[in-house]
Amino acid sequence: MAAMQLEPVTITDAQTGATAQILSGFGFNCYRFRPAVGGEAFDVLWSEAGFESGEARPSHSGIPVLFPFPGRLRGSHLAYEGHTYPLGSDDGRGNAIHGFVLNRPWRIIEMLPHRTTGEFHASVDEPGLVKRWPADFRLTVTYELNGNTLSCQIEVQNPGPTRLPFGLGLHPYFQLPLGAGGRADDCRVTVPAAEYWELQNMLPTGRRLRADQRANLAGTTRFADMRLDDVFTGLTVADGVVRTTIEDPHTGRTLELTFDAAFRECVIYNPPHGEAVCIEPYTCAPDAYELQATGIDAGLRLLEPGGQFRTRFEIRVT
């Protein structure tokens, strides 16, 4: 594994003063975003105190990048096309979780005042990973500030000679309330989902049920009433994007997380500390490899040699 560089990168919007910080040495995690709305700068992302030390749990702060599989895969090995690959991560239940890149050092390949780009290339940055996955991969992430909007563009490339199976996910922790004077319990969360995946021991059974049997997120749910760690699907796409919101009625602020239709699943999770909510876009369901093997469309993607896949999301505060 490459040496860990834990000096954070800071980008700034010159007009509003909004800032974001990314820890390139720890998964290229954007762990802080501070827009300036109504004369007040405040934290939108929740992260553990001392996250910059690199000793915190990498999936519990900021915006972890989950690749080449988001969520859990059953067991500690992947069986794929006649080969078995050791995955090495553990969710405490004996399952692999969240892929390889969220705790590894990335290289910065572009640095501008308002934009930065990081790259992780498996065979270059940690050659041992090519024995733990069916194909090599290169992942490039660009964060950019424009006013009080933080945008992220992600590109997956297959530089190897074999097809690359993958899933991509983001795991943002949104801090509540939205600034001083708000109340977390009264914040309202909206996610336009029609269905959710039934889970057994935190893994999808393959059944999809009506979302309102689990939570009425399409009709807005009060944060105090949410007790979720669930995978929603059947997302409503309008003008090419899925729009999710968090509204704080006391501060009058709204946070919008929009992501393109490549993200067909969305995990909603309430961390036990009660200070944040996670709205996590995934391109596939957890354990997509086993679901696909049984004939269930779980969103698994295959990238041909030399192929590219691009997607993006935005966080905007108004």
How does pLDDT run across 250-300, given as a tens digit for each residue? Answer: 999 999 999 999 999 999 999 999 999 999 999 999 999 999 999 999 999
In a domain, 143, yes or no: yes
In 3D space, the residue among 312, 318, 290 whose CA is nearest the CA of residue 73 turns out to be 290
- The residue with tokens 């968090």 is 246
The long-range contacts involving 224-229, CB below 8 angstroms and separated by at least 24 positions, are 224/184, 224/185, 224/186, 226/189, 226/268, 226/270, 226/277, 227/270, 228/268, 228/269, 228/270, 229/202, 229/267, 229/268, 229/269, 229/270
In a domain, 295, yes or no: yes
Which residues fall within 8 angstroms of residue 134, CB to CB, at 6 or more apart?
Answer: 78, 80, 81, 83, 85, 162, 163, 164, 165
3-state helix, strand, coil in the chain (%, to 5): 10, 45, 45
Domain that holds residue 285: 9-317
> Tell me, what's the pLDDT at 231?
98
CATH code assigned at 106: 2.70.98.10
> Tell me, what's the pLDDT at 3?
46
Instruction: Tell me how many domains the chain contains.
Output: 1
In a domain, 16, yes or no: yes
> Tell me, what's the pLDDT at 78?
95
> Tell me, what's the pLDDT at 2?
46
In a domain, 4, yes or no: no
In a domain, 209, yes or no: yes
Please identify every stretch of the chain with a pLDDT value under 50, giving residue numbers as ranges. 1-3
In a domain, 1, yes or no: no
The answer to whether the CB of 48 falls within 8 A of the CB of 60 is: yes
In a domain, 3, yes or no: no
Q: Provide the CA 150 distance to its chain's centre, in angstroms.
A: 14
The span from the CA of 288 to the CA of 300, in Å, is 6
pTM of the model as a whole? 0.96
In a domain, 2, yes or no: no
> Tell me, what's the pLDDT at 39?
84
